[in-house]
C-alpha cells in the first residue's frame, strides 16, 4: 500500500465517520479508531530523516529502494539531514536516503501481487 493510498483511506474513514448521519458511533470511539488507523499507517511508511534523527541507538529495517531482498536490521548511529545520509552502527552509510535507501520501524510486509 502506498502513502497516497493510506492517506486516502484515512481521509475516507474521517469523512464517513464524522460526516455521515447513518452511524451511531460516539465521537470518542471514532477518534480512537482513527488514531489507531493512523498509528498503523505510520508503521508501514518509510521513516523520514527527522524521524531517524530521534531514533539514534534504535534498530530499524533498512533496504535499498526497490531491492527488498537485501534488506536488514541495523542500529541508527547518526543522521545528516542536509546531506541525506543515514549512518548505521558498524555498517555502510546510506547515502542518498529517501532516494536510494529507505528505513522502516520494522520489516515491511510483502505485498501479494
- The three-state secondary structure class of 62 is strand
- Domain-wise residue ranges, the chain: 3-44, 49-104
Q: Is 101 within 8 Å of 64 (Cβ atoms)? A: yes
pLDDT at 3 over 80: no
Q: What number of other Cβ atoms are within 10 A of residue 102's Cβ?
A: 22
Instruction: Say if residues 56 and 78 touch (Cβ distance below 8 Å).
Output: yes
Over residues 14-72, the pLDDT tens digits come to: 777 677 655 555 677 677 777 777 777 777 789 999 999 999 999 999 998 777 778 99
Instruction: Output the pTM of the full model.
Output: 0.64
Closest alpha carbon to 6 in 40, 29, 51: 40
Q: Each residue of 60-108: pLDDT tens digit?
A: 999 987 777 789 999 999 999 999 999 999 988 999 999 999 999 888 8
What pLDDT is recorded for position 108? Answer: 80
Instruction: Work out the burial of residue 97: count CB atoms within 10 Å of its CB; fewer than 13 is exposed, 13-18 middle, 19 or more buried.
Output: buried
Amino acid at each position: 500500500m502506498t502513502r497516497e493510498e493510506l492517506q486516502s483511506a484515512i481521509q475516507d474513514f474521517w469523512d464517513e465517520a464524522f460526516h455521515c448521519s447513518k452511524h451511531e458511533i460516539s465521537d470518542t470511539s471514532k477518534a480512537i479508531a482513527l488514531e489507531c488507523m493512523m498509528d498503523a499507517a505510520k508503521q508501514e511508511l518509510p521513516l523520514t530523516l527527522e524521524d531517524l534523527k530521534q531514533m539514534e541507538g534504535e534498530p530499524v529495517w533498512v533496504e535499498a529502494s526497490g531491492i527488498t531482498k537485501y534488506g536488514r536490521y541495523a542500529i541508527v548511529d547518526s543522521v545528516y539531514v542536509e546531506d541525506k545520509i543515514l549512518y548505521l552502527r558498524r555498517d555502510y552509510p546510506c547515502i542518498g536516503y529517501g532516494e536510494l535507501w529507505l528505513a522502516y520501524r520494522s520489516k515491511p510486509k510483502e505485498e501479494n501481487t
